[in-house]
Amino acid sequence: MQNNNNQHIKNFFNFLKEKDDKNIPFEVKFTTFPHMITNKDVEILKYDFDPFIRANIFNRIKKREERFIVVQTFGMVSPSLALAYSNIGWLFIDIEGNISVKDIDFSVFKETTNGCYLKALNTYLNSIQKIFSYNDIHFVGNLIVSPFNYYKRVFTYPKLINVNLNGQPEPDFKPKNVIEKNIQKNTVEFLNEVNKYGCYDNK
């Protein structure tokens, strides 16, 4: 049935183009006529659209678990990637809407994120792995911590935990004070909860 509907849509817009030489609407071109997409169309999608409209186009291009609410302009950390806010948090996506960290140079990450380092770091940690999602990443001393943590959308854990640069909860550190001891305790507790849903190994 879906294929028949798509074919009817294609036939309708092909008819309009042949009859009245009307251009196919941009969103329809991306979702129904991918063979007609030009480099100019791609540039328009990456840079010229409102973030909410851009998100809607990506949601229609490809069915996926993630549903995008906002897709920012491409190029903040890489010409090939955009920050996208989704139902599972911030993610980096490529022009096809796939989650990706390709071409991100982490050695210059802080200098290239134009004052949005924490948001970009949060996005990176969510995108580099598919098990955990984090929100409101910030620093406590030298620790990267997250107060809102999600495991495969199965459960949430609203306490500060330590996260390493691979996007994994990391309890293996030497606490320097009471706050860091509590963070370590929370991280262990979170991983114990995760293990109730199946074996987890962060090595």
Indicate whether 43 and 123 sit together in one domain: yes
Indicate whether 31 and 43 sit together in one domain: no
Indicate whether 144 and 103 sit together in one domain: no
Indicate whether 73 and 93 sit together in one domain: yes
Distances (CA, A) of 104 to 41, 50, 76, 138, 171: 24, 24, 10, 20, 26
Indicate whether 138 and 196 sit together in one domain: yes
Indicate whether 111 and 64 sit together in one domain: yes
Q: Check if the beta carbon of residue 46 is closer than 8 Å to that of residue 76.
A: no
Number of structural domains (the chain) is: 3
Radius of gyration of the chain (CA): 21
pTM of this structure: 0.81
Q: Would you list the DSSP string of 18-48?
A: HHH-PPPPHHHHHHH-GGG--HHHHHHHHHT
Indicate whether 30 and 44 sit together in one domain: no
> pLDDT tier at 52 (50, 70, 90 boundaries)?
very high
Q: Which two tokens stand for residue 115?
A: 């004052």
Indicate whether 83 and 141 sit together in one domain: no
Indicate whether 118 and 77 sit together in one domain: yes
CA distance 112 to 120: 10
pLDDT tens, residue by residue, 147-195? 999 998 788 999 999 999 999 999 999 999 999 999 999 999 999 999 8
Indicate whether 146 and 203 sit together in one domain: yes
Indicate whether 107 and 141 sit together in one domain: no
Nearest-CA neighbor of 23 among 3, 6, 47, 40? Answer: 40
Indicate whether 79 and 140 sit together in one domain: no
Chain-centroid distance, C-alpha 20: 40
Give me the domain span that covers residue 16: 1-35
- Of 127, 153, 168, which one is at a domain's C-terminal end? 127
Tell me the pLDDT of the chain averaged across its residues: 83
Average pLDDT estimate for 102-118: 74
Q: Check if the beta carbon of residue 108 is closer than 8 Å to that of residue 90.
A: no
Average pLDDT estimate for 14-37: 63
